Amino acid sequence: MHTLEAKTRPSGKASVLRRQGIVPAVVYGPAIESTPIAIARRDLLVLFSKVTRSSRISLKLQSDGKPKEMDVFIKVIDYDAITDEPLHVDFYHPEANHPLKLSVPVKLAGDAIGIKSGGILNVQFRSVPVRGMSKDIPHLITIDVSALDVGDSVHVSDIDFGKVEPLLPPERVLVTVIAPRSLVAEAAEAAEAGEGEAAAEGAEAPAAAEGEGAA
Helix, strand or coil for residue 193?
Answer: helix
Residue that finishes a domain, picked among 98, 124, 143 = 98
Q: Are residues 122 and 160 in the same domain?
A: yes
Counting the structural domains of the chain, the total is 2
Q: Are residues 90 and 7 in the same domain?
A: yes
| Residue 204 included in any domain | no
Residues 6+ apart with CB under 8 A from 126: 105, 106
User: Which CATH number goes with the domain that contains 140?
Assistant: 2.170.120.20
Q: Tally Cβ neighbours within 10 Å of residue 201.
A: 9
Q: Residue 38's pLDDT is what?
A: 96
Q: Are residues 17 and 91 in the same domain?
A: yes
User: With the C-alpha atoms ordered 94, 98, 100, 104, is the resulting torsion angle positive or negative?
Assistant: positive
Q: Are residues 92 and 107 in the same domain?
A: no
Residue 161 has pLDDT above 70, yes or no: yes
Q: Residue 201's pLDDT is what?
A: 58
User: Which CATH number goes with the domain that contains 9?
Assistant: 2.40.240.10
Domain range for 77 is 2-98
Q: Are residues 58 and 123 in the same domain?
A: no
Residue 173 has pLDDT above 80, yes or no: yes
The Cα 37–Cα 64 span in angstroms is 12
Residue that finishes a domain, picked among 64, 98, 132 = 98
| Residue 215 included in any domain | no
Min mean pLDDT across 106-115, 163-172, 176-185 is at 176-185
- DSSP label at residue 95: P
The strand pairing partners of 179, in sequence order, are none
Q: Are residues 150 and 69 in the same domain?
A: no
Q: Residue 188's pLDDT is what?
A: 54
The Cα 164–Cα 137 span in angstroms is 7
Residue that finishes a domain, picked among 79, 98, 117 = 98
Q: Are residues 130 and 172 in the same domain?
A: yes
| Residue 214 included in any domain | no
Q: Check: CB of residue 60 under 8 Å from CB of residue 69.
A: yes
| 111-116, Cβ contacts within 8 angstroms, sequence gap of 24 or more | 111/145, 111/146, 112/145, 112/146, 112/147, 112/148, 112/149, 112/152, 112/177, 113/146, 113/147, 113/148, 113/149, 114/148, 114/149, 114/150, 114/151, 114/152, 114/177, 115/177
Q: Residue 189's pLDDT is what?
A: 58
| Residue 57 included in any domain | yes
